[in-house]
Amino acid sequence: MKVLTIATELKPTLEKLVKSCEGKLDLEVTFHPGKWDWGVWLDWQDEKSSEYWDHSLVFVDAYDTLFVGGPDELERLVERQPLIHSTCKNCWPMPAREKFYPKVPGPWKFLNSCGPAGAGWAIGNALEYGMNTFPYPMPDLSRDNDQRFWTDVYLSWPGCLDWRCEIWQDLHLMETGEIVLKDGKAYNTVHNTYPQFLHASAGTWHLIPEELLHGR
């Protein structure tokens, strides 16, 4: 299993991700020092899924992700489905897509682009389909991004959401008591799950317990 991320430079938050994975996960960091847009991210995902076609893969954000789980458990979760998408509470960047989502019993029910995870071939096939059907950038959008792309792919292509937050736990819009520290691990009290990655999107690093942030 490979864990993959792309960055423009080495920042303290990326160092936290690297440290949290040391000795546990096979983390590969790609540095892209040139001009950045979300097309770079999608092209890189396409490149890596082709390179690791027969591997289990997990894509994560470079600057707001921390590994807090166990390698064996993560691999088991990733291998359950060919294509898995991370989730968040808000339907962004196109709220009009909300009506097309299936109903799930929980608040993390919309696709988030911190992922995907699954088999390299499944991610690669989804990317090819998306690039042919919902290319980036969309001409009629003034500010397009990868989350719009993956949302459109998910709503029309085989894949599942990690709505129980077993792989990724997004912290944006988190309410008090939803995520706590239990047995030294991050614990989702809504779904009774132990997330493998904490995703501190929208500047939510301060919500990560000190024991997890500095004790790994």
pLDDT in tens, 155-195: 999 999 999 999 999 999 999 999 999 999 999 999 999 99
Question: CB neighbours of 133 closer than 8 A, spacing ≥ 6?
Answer: 152, 153, 156
| pLDDT band of 141, cuts 50, 70, 90 | confident
pLDDT in tens, 103-113: 999 999 999 99
pLDDT reported for residue 216:
47
Domain with 37 in it: what CATH number? 3.90.550.10
Say which amino acid occupies 133: T
Q: Which two tokens stand for residue 64?
A: 């707001």
Structural domain total, the chain: 1
Is there a contact between 186 and 194 (Cβ–Cβ < 8 Å)? yes
Report pTM: 0.96
Q: Cite the DSSP H helix spans in the chain.
A: 12-21, 38-51, 71-78, 120-133, 146-154, 210-214
- Domain that residue 207 falls in: 2-214
Strand partners, 188: 179, 193
